[in-house]
Structure 1
């Protein structure tokens, strides 16, 4: 056998053995955790972390850490002190990212500030106090189009107000009157299927609170962050795009 072919054959064998060892390690961790903690029987993924001997255990978007034998379980954050990065946060952000282009924007209405060149999606409930605070703070942000998905999850009254806003002649005006000036939207009726789809979409992406912001890179932020933070994130995206 020629030297190169011999080397190639050896490399393939090493890779195969490595994959087999990784599979055996994963199986051992799954078995140990399932036997000792029945709630962890449905593990989606087991993978090695940058820390030697520590493995990530993923169930949906929930992350845990364990040793090679599944003897210990850690629930917390893994920090790379050298790189000064929260590896757990980075991983969760990747797992919860949403393809911005796939969002059904026809089921949202637009609130445009200035030229509206920058894009932002927000899931909001008309009865959400944090949403009202966020909307008022967003008046400081220029040149953005906010795609507002009505997401009535707080109370039956939320559904009624969402219906009246969605069915208003000018949805954006009715929304801002309510959120900024506490004007109760006038009673209206129309096709409500968009709101039903919004609830299904939220459940699909496990959106459990309002407001939830989604930026054009797919990253999402739960909660009413300050306008300055929104501005910072959108500026970073604009720089990355160039």
Structure 2
């Protein structure tokens, strides 16, 4: 969302809360949560927190999604709250904080395992074979990163109609699925012959990613449990790998 659009969202929310807050004293977070849970039946309202903006409350839905509401829980808005002093999206910052998991619980046997160098560091990546940002991650950001074991969870998105077939073909490749993955990401060549009839963990990977709050690819998971979306730069990956290794 462009910065101007984000500001419109925040400005709209300020107008709403200004009208409602003047009439009544704002209830506490637990009251807002109870009201929203009743009005948004079927959605899990995980928590309600205050924000730096008076009368505006952060609502966490399903453990990962952030929306905002007014003090009377009459309205909700989806969008970014932007700190203009630092030109930073507070929504993005909070979302990244909420995206956490226990790396030790990841079913690594359901991922393609690639060992580089001594393999001492660990990184999990949820990746779609037809995602252009996944190709950028593989060909730019991860290029030259060594002494790491990379676990790639095949995660074909619905927006890429052929991604499921390609994921199945890569996993079902005779001999070495690591070589099949690298040949596709590096050379755009699928295994020959293409096999899609073996047992794959792809459906389980999709369910796992949804549970973890992963909605797009690539998504990188570090041993600290931090989940970072997007084809982030190599320098950032190295920094996060180093921090994760130091935290052990």
RCO higher in 1 or 2 (8 Å CA, sep ≥ 6)? 2
Instruction: Give the TM-score of the pair, scaled to structure 1.
Output: 0.73
**CA pair 205-197 structure 1, distance change in 2 beyond 3 A:** same
Alpha-carbon distance between aligned partners in 2 of 1:64 and 1:166, rounded to the nearest angstrom: 38
Say which SS state the counterpart of residue 139 (structure 1) adopts: coil
Larger mean CA deviation between 192-201 and 134-143 belongs to 192-201
Counterpart residue number, 1:134: 137
Cα deviation for residue 119 of structure 1 reads 0.5
Q: Give the TM-score normalised by structure 2.
A: 0.72
Residue in structure 2 matched with residue 164 of structure 1 by the alignment? 169
Q: CA deviation at 1:48?
A: 3.8
Segments of 5+ residues of structure 1 without an aligned counterpart are 1-23
The separation in 2 between residues aligned to 1:229 and 1:114, in whole angstroms, is 19
TM-aligned CA distance change 1:180 to 1:72, over 3 Å: same
Residue 87 of structure 1, CA deviation: 5.5
- How has the CA–CA distance of structure 1 residues 71 and 163 changed in structure 2, closer, same or farther, with 3 Å as cutoff? closer
Q: In structure 1, what is the equivalent of residue 222 of structure 2?
A: 215
- CA RMSD in angstroms, aligned pairs only: 3.2
In structure 2, the partner of 1:113 is 116
Q: Distance in 2 between matches of 1:204 and 1:53?
A: 31
- Decide whether aligned partners of structure 1 residues 31 and 204 sit closer, same or farther in structure 2, where only a CA change above 3 A counts: closer
**Contact 2:169/2:190, CA 8 A, preserved across alignment:** no
Aligned match for 2:104, one of 101, 105, 109: 101
Gaps (5+ residues) in structure 2? 1-26
Larger of the two Rg values belongs to structure: 1
| Aligned residue number for residue 60 of structure 2 | 58
Aligned positions of 1:1-242 closer than 5 A: 25-30=28-33, 42=43, 43-49=45-51, 55-60=57-62, 61-66=64-69, 68-70=71-73, 75-77=79-81, 79=83, 88-137=91-140, 138-153=142-157, 154-168=159-173, 169-186=175-192, 187-189=194-196, 191-241=198-248
Following the alignment from structure 1 to structure 2, what is the Cα–Cα distance between the partners of residues 102 and 31? 32
Shift of 1:28: 4.0
CA spacing shift, 1:67–1:126, aligned 2, 3 Å: closer
Quote how far apart the aligned CAs of 1:117 are: 0.8
Asked if the contact 1:26–1:47 (Cα under 8 Å) also holds between the matched residues in 2, the reply is yes
Which is worse superposed, 63-72 or 183-192?
A: 63-72
**133-142 vs 85-94, which moves further:** 85-94
Query: Does the 8 A contact of 1:26 with 1:46 survive in 2?
Result: yes
Number of matched pairs:
215
CA gap 1:104/1:33 in 2 versus in 1, 3 angstroms: closer
More helix by share: 1
